[in-house]
Structures are given as C-alpha cells and as structure tokens.
Structure 1
Amino acid sequence: MMNPESDHPSSPRQRKIGIAVELSEESAFTVRWAVDNYIRQGDDIIILHVSPTAGLFGADWGYYPLQTQPPYTTASIFSKVADLGKPLKEAGFPHTIHTVKDYDKRERLCLETQRLNLTALIMGFGDGSVSDFCVHHCVCQVVVVRYPDGPGSVEGTRAAPIVTFKSRTDDDEEIDKAKTALTASVHHQHIKAMDSVSKQPLLFCPRAYFTNNEEDFRAMQFREPPNLSSPSFHLTSLVLGNDFNITRKYYYDRHGKGFIKGHRPNKQCEICSKSLLGTTFYSCTLCLRPSCSPLQSSVLSRSSGYYHEACIEPISKHPYHPKHALRFRYESGQICLSCSTFKDFAYHCSICNFTMCQDCAREPPLFAIDYPKRHEHTLFYFQRKGSLICDVCGLSDGRSLLYSCVKCNFVVHKECVYFPCIIKISRHEHRLSFNSSLTPEQWLCGVCRESIDTNFARYSCVKGCSFAVHSKCATRKDVWDGKELEGEPEEDESLYIFKSFNEISDGIIEYFRHKSHHMRLDEDTNRAFDEDKRCRACTFPICDDLIYSCMQCDFILHQTCAHLPPRKQHATHPHPLLLLVDEEHEDYFQCTACKRESNGFAYTCCARDCNFTLDVSCASIAESLIHRFHPHPIYLIHESTAQEFCSICGQLIGHRLNCGECRFALCFGCATLPNKLRYKHDEHFLIFSYDEDFSGSQESGPHLCEVCEKQANPKNGVYMCNDCNVTLHVECLLGKEMYMMPIGGLISRNVNVDILPNNRLTRNICQRCHNRCQGKIIFKARDRSTFLCSLFCCLTKSWVDRDT
C-alpha cells in the first residue's frame, strides 16, 4: 500500500472526499481501494449511503404473498456502513458517516454531492446504472471502481480493478486512463491532477462539452474513429467501459497542447460574440491547431475556440431551479423556459428537462410581476409546477415558469403574462383583441381548427366577425409578426390595392412588369399546342386557357396570372408579400411551401432579413380549400415539428392542407397541379387523377406510364386520358424541374448556364452524372460544349472541375 503522506504531494487546500457505499462486498472493495490508492492525510472523508425508502419487491401474479423490504433500522444500517469503513480506521484516516433515505438513489447521490460540496466522489460500478448517472450529473469529480470479475470488467484482470476517472481539474498535470492498480507510482500520476480543486471547472473542450452526449459528438465530428495515440485527439468520453478516456488538462502545458485558461484580448467569445479583453476565458489549443483537420464542417467545427468563463461555466444553483445544477450545452432548437425563445446554446438540467438561455440565466430572477393588464393583483413565482393549467393559454406545460396570485385562484405562465392586447395575424383580415371574458358561444380556432375552451383567454376579431383564435396559436411566429398594435392607428388597406396592368384599349393592356410592349388578349381556346410555350408567371404550359400574349415578343401570361395583385397577404406568412419578376431571367428561386425551384414570378416577403418566397401557384392557395379528391374541407396547417405524409404523393411535408374530420393531408405541390394538361402525342386533354382505393387488380389491370414505361399508380396521382387509355407520371409529363422554363439562364460556380428545351433528336450526355439528359429542359454552359441534365447536377461543383 502506498504511503499517502510520502507519495502524494501536499496541497494548500483540503480535499473533501465522499465514498458512496452500498451494503455489499463491492463497496468494501471500493473503500479498500480508496485507502490504498487515493486518500491522503488531511482529507475530509465522508462515507455516503443512500438507503431506499420502504417498498414492495418480489411481487408476482398468483397467491404468493407480497414480501416487504427487509426491516433495516437506522441503527443497523449505520452499523453495517461503519463496518465498511474499517479500512479507513485501520489506516488512521478520520471519517464521518452520512446516511439518507430516498426512493431515487441516483438523484439523491448527486444532490448530496452538491450539498456537501465534495471535491470528489468514489463509488463502485455496481450494475452501471447509478454510477453512469453520477458520472454524467455530479458537479464534482467521480471515480468509479469496478470490482474484479464484475460487470464490464476485462478478462484476465481478476486481481486488477478497472478505475475510471471523470475529472473536473485545474491542475497542470494530465489525467490519463487508470486501468489497474498496478503500482503506487502509476496511480500517483493519475491522482496528482486531482489534488487541488478550488471550484468546479469544465471537464473537457467546449466543443465536446456542448453536445448532448459524447457519442453524438464523435459521430458528428469525425469522418472515421480518431487515433487514440495521436496527440491531436481531444475528445473526452464520459461513457463507462469504452476506450475513450480523459486526455485533457486545464492549463496550458509546455508542449502546447490541451485545454487552457487565460487571457487573449484580440479574440471574441464564440457564445456572446463579445471581446475577451479583461475577462477570463476557456480555450482548447487543439481546436485552434491544424491538427484538427479530421473535423467535418459543422456548427461546432467552425467555432473560434474561445469562450468566456461566465458564458459556459455550470451554474450550481439558480433561483428558478435550485434543486439541481445547470450545465451549459449545445443542442439545436432548445426552448428557454423563461423567454420561450429557441436557442442552440443554453443551460440545461437533464434530470428535470429544465432549459434556460444564457441571457435569462444571467439576469436577476423575477420573483414578482405587477402587470395590471393581465391581472389586477401581483403575481409571484411558483416553484412547484406539477400539472397546473395556465388560466390564459389553457395549457399545462411543466417546462414553463409559473406565476400565481396569492389572493385568488389565478395561475399563468411567464410568457403568457405579456401577451399583446391588439394584434394582426395572417389568417384574418381584421385586427384581433385579447379577450379573457367568458362567453356562451362555441368557437373553433382559426389557426389549428380545434375547439376553444371559453374558460380561458383567446383572441377575437375587433369588428365582431365570428372569428377567434387560441392565445398560443395567435402568437405563433408563422402567424403573427410580433407587433403590438394597441394605440396604433389602423392602416388603410385600400392604399395597397392597385391593378397590375393598365388597360390601353379593348383587350390590350400594359402589364406593370412588361411595360416596354403591349399585350393582347387571346380568346382562341383551340390553338395548336406547343409544350415549349409557357406562362411566364406560373410556368405551366399554355393549353385552352385565355391568355395575354405580347404583340412584339414571346412574353405570355394566363389571364388569371395577369390579374395577380402586386401585393398580397398570404395565410402562410405574417408579413406582406410583393410580386417580383426577374425580367432578365438570370436567376431562380425555391418556393418555401412546395420546395420546388422556379424561374417564374415570385411573391417575396418585404420584411428585412426574411427569405420567405412563394411561387404564384402556391400563393393562390386559400386558407380553406374544397378539393375535388376529398369530400371534406381542408385547411392550411404548418407545423415544422410535426410533419405528415401527403396523401397523394407520399412526401413528408411541413406546409400542408389538412382535413379537420379525417387524416387526409395534401402538400402544396399536389394542391397546385393543373386539373388538365396536354400531351403532344394525344389529341385529348389528360386529366389529373387520384384513386386512394386503387389496388391494381381491376379489370383494366395496372397502369403503365407512356414515357418511362414503369407502373403508374393512381394512388400517387397520375395524368390520364380515358379515351386513349394513356397514363403518365406527373414528372414524366411536366419534367422533374416542372417550374423551370426553357428561357434565360442562371449562374453556377461563376459559370453562366443557359436553360434550353431538350428537344434534340439525340440526348446529350450529362457532364456530371454521365447519364443521358431525359428531362424537359437541359442546362448548357455558356461558351462551352457542356450539358447538364438537372438543376442538381448544374449546382454541383464537380462538373466545373472536370470541364476545366
């Protein structure tokens, strides 16, 4: 046995060591290991035991009597724990015994560790559940000793326990893997780095620290398993039983590698983007060196590598959540329970699923709210939430901060206290006012189409329309623009209503986006079909529709498209949309609703820093729709977190139309397909058909597409001519890039690319994928003999490299 006095260096600070024990042989072995290899004179030693509360075990079906837990008394438990501490007494180490009762041993150990302010906790492995929980959630160092031949031990190491360190150190020496208690000198190297801890610093590099777990970090960042022997490897794993162990230290060492703490005034914090001047910060030198080349491009791998100490240190106790420590972590889309905003970096308690953003965590806590607009009395912070229902939104959200009135039975979420009084949403033409009074009417929410409980607050039309919305639905970001309109005069909407063309004479107009030429109304519905002639607005081929055609060029518009308003409010977006036209035809856009690329007209949001765009077909979809393939009305829904599959095409969708009575869902792409189209090899119109009950066993048998000769299933929507028994897939008739017209071009990788009709007798070879170009359009590099089959191939860099 090593001599603690001679083998361990002295430390100016006294360590407070906890040994978690159970009434088992493994715990006795853990205490013996701690005496032999870890504890030194001067340590404050506490033997910690959590005994379960009384309960039933051994229950089974049948007549067997239920056996209760053995009736250990407090005295008998204390006596058994004292027996486990005999090695400490024999070695001359003073110690105290601390026993508590709790039904949740894992959580109670973490709480006692924090309450007793332990420097380190030593414990046995057991079945791995308790030790693994403590490793991830204790705020101090955790040393896990695995009993020889126990779970997770290595064959051939009967007399050699595996010891795993999870350390939060601020010493100059590295902590390496302690696999066996071979010699006192070996263990001296591991334990030396844990001798002095003034506070609880970070365990490892913030890049790994921010991730939800280390397995996710490893899978996300590394193309292949990193070389553990390489000095550039800097991932610390807290998962017991694998080969990834601590290779990090807290201060800068003479080799210039590891985790450092210091001052660097010319850099900015990765979290708050403020200067590091005059502050204490964290950094990982390995992340700042070229040796980090295995990292893939991601949010974490592009980080600057510097972090304010105040930005990322754990918070041991917060007034809003005093029970557990809050750990700073990275996870996309975390919701702060105080301000209800989405944050990627936030403080989090994994035990309670409590999340708070950095700004709210650093602000002084708000224990009382005096807001007469919402409630006449002062509201006080209510710590124990349980399943209380908010009197404003009518929801029970255990993750939100609650405030209650001590004078009356009123409970409200913090974010619901400050709901606006007057708002304007995208789903209604008039303003809405906040209303908390009880009414006998039955309402349906104008956003989610669910019933409204009039016992709770809601928003209703200020002009008396039969329109109401849940308070939560009305304040959604995709519905409300975030402006409080109380006291603001109403805008005169007539100022924004104006025609998109001037009528020159009977049937002749001047379109506001084609003023150089006049356009004439063409009422001939029996014109010859040319699939290359398309409406410049919606990009669909011209069939038997009334059209306006330019008298001097090939500019064509459907009559309905010519009447599109230059400015409109659409139910899918809270801001007004403006009609934009690329007159040079040198660009394209992607529709936010249907996700298809187009070079036609676009309705684009006019708000700053908002990239919302709709093609004119999707912009024509109303909030409620009667579709010929469904007997019930369908309504506009957008829930990015709860996507569904389109009932026709089967694609996973966010923006969609849902039936309020059944599970029918329709994507914008299917909802905007023309009812009828022409096919150059058929004299009749092809009608868009959908049969949800089609099985392929009818008398007509399975349908085959005329173009690709593959099976065409009416359950997924097809174009059919019943007179000629012709069936085509939607993409085979309109093309894969069905909203891209063979006009103009685009710029790809600094190369001008023309968009041409693919009507040659021979199909060109795509420069990128080396397949024949089969689509309706083809992309040709200007000033080169290079052809590309699709927009995907066109936007890929590899074809430019090959061509050069």
Structure 2
Amino acid sequence: MEHFKHKNPLIIHNELPNLDGKEICCIACRYPLLSGPFYSCGEPNCYLHKVCAEAPLELKHPLHSDHTLTLVAGRTCFCRCMACSTLSRRERMYECRPCGLRLDLECASMALRIQHECHPHPLIPLLKSALVLCYACGNEHRGVYYKCSSCYFLVHESCASMPSTLKHSHHHHPLTLSRAYVHGYSKFPRFCDICREKLTQYWFYHCIGCRYYAHFSCATSKEEISVDEDEDVLDPNVILLPVPNESINLINQFVKSTKLEEIKIATNLDHFGHPHTLAFFDEQINNELFSRSKGTLCEACVRPISAPVYGCTQCNNYFLHKCCSELPTQIQHPLHIGHPLDLVPKASEGFGIFWCECCNKQCNGFSFHCAKCKDFYLDVKCATLSGPVKHEAHRHRLTPTKLTNVTDCSACSLEFKGLAFKCGICDFIMHSDCAVLPPSLNHRYDKHPFILTYYPLPDHPAEYYCEICEDEVNPKNWFYHCVECDQSIHLYCAQEYQVYSNIKFGASFKVEGHQHPLNFVQFRDEYGSLCNYCGTRLQKYFSFSPGFECGSCEFKLHLQCARDAAKEV
C-alpha cells in the first residue's frame, strides 16, 4: 500500500521475521508486534501494525465530537493522550489543532462496542483513564478499559487487542487465546509451561493438541534470553543426556575429563580392588572367559559387561569395564563439598551394601566414600554427575546443585532434596534419578520398548493409563510410552522395578546363625515363604526384595535380618 507519510511502498506480511529473539515494535504506536499481519517497507526497524498503517486520515471521536481529529505523522514527539492520559513518545497521533488535544492511535481505534471471543457479553469502552484490575491478565493497568454491559468484567484495551492466536518460541504450534479450561484432561492441575506456575482464573493461551498452556502475560512477553544450544553440544565438559547406556557412557566421559593424558591399554592390570591380575579383552579376542562374561555384571558400576573389559582368569567371575578400571581414586563432588571422596571397591557396611546419598538406592558396587563422614557414599554412576549437563528435554544447560530444602522435580513432580540439576535461565529443576533415566526400557507388558516421553503426544485421543498400577498418567510429567501399542508407564512405577538395579546378586557369605554359606539373592517367587529369623514374608507384593538363601537347605533370611543376626554375635 501507499502511505501518505512514507516514501516507500508498504508491503503486508503474515509471519514475523526471525531477529534472534529481539523485540519488534511498531513505529506508530511503539507497541511490540506479537503476530501478523503487519506492514513493512523493507528498511531496518520499519514495521507497522496493520491497524496503525490503515488508520484513517480524519475521524470523528465521541470524546471530542465538536471537531474533526486529523492524523499527524512524520515527527516524533512526546504527547499526552486525552483518553488514557498517558504521556508517551509517538511518531503518529490524532490531533485537534484548534483545541490542541491529542489522541493516540490505540485509543482512537477503540470501537464503541466490541464482542470478544473470550467473553460472552458485549464490551463497551470507558474512555477515561483508570487504575483498576484487568480481568484478562490479572494485573493492574492505568489506561482505557472495556467494560461488560451485563456483568462486572473489565479488560484493559491492550489486553483486549491481543491476537486470538500467536506463535511463541517455546512451542512449535500456534497458541490460541482462551478464558476457561478445556474440560477434557481436567483431572490434573494446570500449570504454565513457560513459568511453571499454576494457571488461575484469568485468560491464557494454549495448544489443545499438545495440552500446552501459557499464562496470558507469559505468552505475550518478549523477555527471553537467547542461548546458543550448539555451544553446549560442542562443549566437551557438558554431559549430554540421556545416554543409551548411562553407566558406560557417563563413566567414560567422566574418566576422560579427569585424566590429563591418554590412558594406554595394559594387557594385564593389577587393580587395588582385586587380589589377582586382570587380563584385557575386547571384541576381537575370542576367549572362553570373555565369552562367559556376557550376561554378567561389572563389579564397579553393576551394569552388563561389554567390551573392552578386564577379567580375572583365576576367579572366572570378576569383570571390570575398562573405563571403570580407570576411575580416579579421589574426587571432589558438589554434593559433598567439604571433604574429598575416596574410591573404595567394597563398602564397610554390612555385606558391602550401602545407601547412595545421590540416588537414595542400595548399591554394592564400587563407591566414592568420605573417610571423615564415614557413612557418606556415592555410587560411581552418580559420582559422574559432577558437572553441567544438557538434557534433550530442556533447551538450557543445567548445573549440579545441592538442595537443602524440599522442592518439586520439573520432570516427575515428586518432592526431593539433595543433588539437583538446576537451570540458571528459567526455573527448571531436575533430580538425579530423572537425569539418568534411560531413553527406553523393555518390560514384560509389551514386546516393544517403552520410550521416555517428555510431553503429551500431539492429538492423542484419550487419557493415558499406566500398565503397571492402572492409574491415570499425567502427560505433562515425563513418562514411558509405547506408540505402537499405545501403552504407558509412570516414571515411579518403572523405577520401582529398578529399585535394586544397583545391586549385584550371586555372591556367597557366611552369615551368623547358620552352618552353611548363604547365597545373596533377589526373592522373586517367594510370596508365601517366611524368613527364618523374623518369621514374616520374604517378599512383599512385587518388591523383589534382596536376601539370603541356603543352597543346601530351606534356610532363608531378609537382608536386614541377616544384618541384625550379625550384630547379635
């Protein structure tokens, strides 16, 4: 279009240009452009709202019906609007030359009666400035308002003029303005996906297919810090999560970050955690011992053995991943800043089983232990989480932090304290259990793998139900899902089956109170059997709890009962 105060033709556009998060303002009203359509001449910083570019040259207004108001453009000056009393810097405004009164474009464009899609009744303008609460955004504004002719509803003119749909950088679909919750999927509380605060009774934007919600003010705000995500991906000190094999990949990266020189491969290794010399094996070596290692667990990280590996040719059942054999003997960790932690192959606790201070699981592999605090242990996998991480579910870098107060995990919504990974840009916070979740898992309920899912599936037709507990799954929390079979599992239900995943079973111990050696086992089919020490059931529901059983007779003990029996001696 040709404009009387612009030398170049104005071209209409429907999509905002990508300016790396910088705010684009209209040169006429000085308000930001949130969505198209808009006009531009092609010159830098020359943008106009469609309504500002198409403003008439003259108009009659009910606030000043005696004279015609003329559109003045081409000079930038400070003026006070006779409707909203706002003093602002304007390039265009309406003016009554005989009276010296001015009216800004947004007040001049206010219709005498509007029907807004977010309110059931007609709205009429209050053309005198007031400081009142806006029922759309929930904030107090000074300026011109629209008032409902049937109820007490008041909406500031800037909120009333917001687009019914807009694009936001936090979401890949357009967001639609709404005044009330969508009735479906209403079992769980609604939270803003930008600020993570609870939604209130005011207007909000949402994407119904993805169940994405944003406060009115969050969706229309341009306050966003630009971060180059590629820098985190390329930074070797940033741990990229999730990883297919969390133990091997995390420990590998951790070892590389702590060693100044490349570690040479030794054919034979004398390791302080084992009395015999260990031999090196890789996939190219066809060896009977290495073949037997398949299906066994590493003594350090308690994860399945994979090449390259060190093994004991005398014991035939002792194996260490190469990366686990290279773990540093002492580290500093953000969860225990005051003292160094020493690598120990076996905890001094009963039967070598300790509680990890990070994941709060029982473990019996290698650990990092505080010699001064005695009962402070970190499982070697958790100890690797000592630096910044970048998780594919979050766009910013996360830094390890020790929390002393209980807070909610942004991934699973469960309360926790201790080691957390916190975003320095937004309020996203994640506890260590969710940080090291595998990207997929297999379960007997489905022949396909369950994939770790961070958001509701687009246009999913119904609710999600957990195949284990049969309760409804909140899809705004992380969960595991099989797309082929449309089956889901809660995070905590999946983790319940992995509560003893850091324990290696099979070793034999001499336990006080019984003449035969007892094997350390996980009770799986012992729901009706009783402990020979306390007389209660060995297995509660599907807990698969650890304990001891005799290979020569029917003698069986809970793990804790074996510890109690040892204390009585």
Query: Shorter-chain-normalised TM-score: which range?
Result: 0.3 to 0.5
Q: TM-score, normalised by structure 1?
A: 0.31
TM-score by length of 2: 0.42
More strand by share: 2
